[in-house]
Amino acid sequence: MTIQRARSIGTSARLQILGQLDGVHTAIPAVVTGYDAKTQRVSVKPLVKHGYYDQTDVRMLESFGIEQNIPVLFPGGGGQRLTFPISDGTLIDLLTLDLVPATKGYLIASEESLDAWLAGTGDEVDPVHDHRFDLSSSVFLPGLMTFGAPWGNVPTDHGTLGPDGGVLIHSYGDHVAVATAVMEALAKSGQTTVRGAEFMIDLAAVLSNLVIVLPLLAAVGAVLATAPQLSAIAALIDPAAPDPGSGSLVTMAAKALAPPATAPGTYQSPNLLVP
């Protein structure tokens, strides 16, 4: 004969309360499984399983399903916004050609249904649907990291912007600087910025020479070149040609690889060095 024990009042009350809370969601870590960049909406899967007790008071676990059409919460205000790539695991890093890991973040459930508000213009609306704290009416806040895999370079004295482990823009109170995490860690004097105006002037000169040279290169069987074309070719490949550094590919390459200097001759400028 099987003897069934009666549940205590405390146990029954606890199970009843937990049962009522089963449909109430607040926030949970999630990973992106799909992304529409045009509408900035994602499909996400929660990364923490749901624990509950069955009728025999045995703890059970189940995985959450994938939530669709969740808006991404990019920071923004005053007509300004901060955006960054969202990966579903199929995004390719154009620099390394490696797959970018799927973006993780926080799935935050709304107190009321978001369907009507998201379909409108941002004004106050009737939610229409009265489901509350439901994961289907959530927003996705990207960037949540685990303690075991935090961001790699998070300075405590200034802000940074850029790829983790790559070249970062370091923002200080009175200036900005550009450096990789290794450069910033080993020597703050390694932080530099690019002389953008000087680079663009040189690039424009190179392109103007190319415009003169390209017709010659495109002429099938051409054996004679005009004087301007010969001069342009010389300027492209010979840094000692007239007006050096203003049309020479060799000079541009040398200036790009040269160490920082206060005077012209390199695109790297130390005028934003960290004090």
CB 178 within 8 A of CB 194: yes
**Residue ranges with strand state E in 63-121:** 67-71, 76-77, 80-81, 104-110
Residue 105 contacts by C-beta under 8 Å, 6 or more apart in sequence?
29, 30, 32, 44, 140, 141, 142, 143, 144
Asked whether the beta carbons of 144 and 105 are under 8 A apart, the reply is: yes
Q: What is the DSSP letter of 8?
A: P
28 falls in which pLDDT band (50, 70, 90)?
very high
What are the structure tokens assigned to 219, written together?
Answer: 């002429």
Tell me, what's the pLDDT at 1? 45
- For residues 230 and 154, the answer to whether their CB atoms sit within 8 Å is no
Looking at residue 266, its pLDDT comes to 74
Whether residue 22 is predicted with pLDDT greater than 80 in this model: the reply is no
pTM as predicted: 0.64
* Least confident span in 38-47, 80-89, 93-102, 141-150: 93-102
Q: How confident is the model at residue 270 (pLDDT cuts 50, 70, 90)?
A: low
Query: What local confidence, expressed as pLDDT, does residue 3 receive?
Result: 47
Range 162-168, long-range pairs (CB < 8 A, 24+ positions): none
CA dihedral 200, 202, 203, 204 (to 10 degrees): 90
10-142: CATH superfamily = Gp5 N-terminal domain (2.40.50.230)
The pLDDT of residue 2 is above 60: no
- Pinpoint the alpha helices (H) of 63-195: 115-119, 181-186
- Which phi and psi angles does 10 have, rounded to 5°? -65, -45
Which run of H or of E encompasses 53? strand 50-53
Which of 144, 146, 43, 148 is CA-nearest to residue 90? Answer: 43
pLDDT in tens, 180-216: 766 665 555 555 666 666 777 777 777 777 767 666 6
Q: What is the DSSP track for 203-231?
A: HHHHHHHHHHHHHHHHSTT-----HHHHH
Per-residue pLDDT at 135: 92
DSSP, collapsed to helix, strand or coil, labels residue 165 as coil
Residue among 104, 25, 112, 113 nearest 64 (CA): 25
Q: Is 107 exposed, middle or buried (0-12, 13-18, 19+ CB in 10 A)?
A: buried
CA 210 to chain centre: 35
Which of 99, 101, 115 lies closest to 31, judged by CA?
101
> Which tens digits make up the pLDDT trace of 243-255?
544 557 777 777 7
* Domain regions of the chain by residue span: 10-142, 159-191, 195-269
Convert the pLDDT of each residue in 84-132 to its tens digit.
999 999 999 887 889 999 999 999 999 999 999 999 999 999 998 888 8
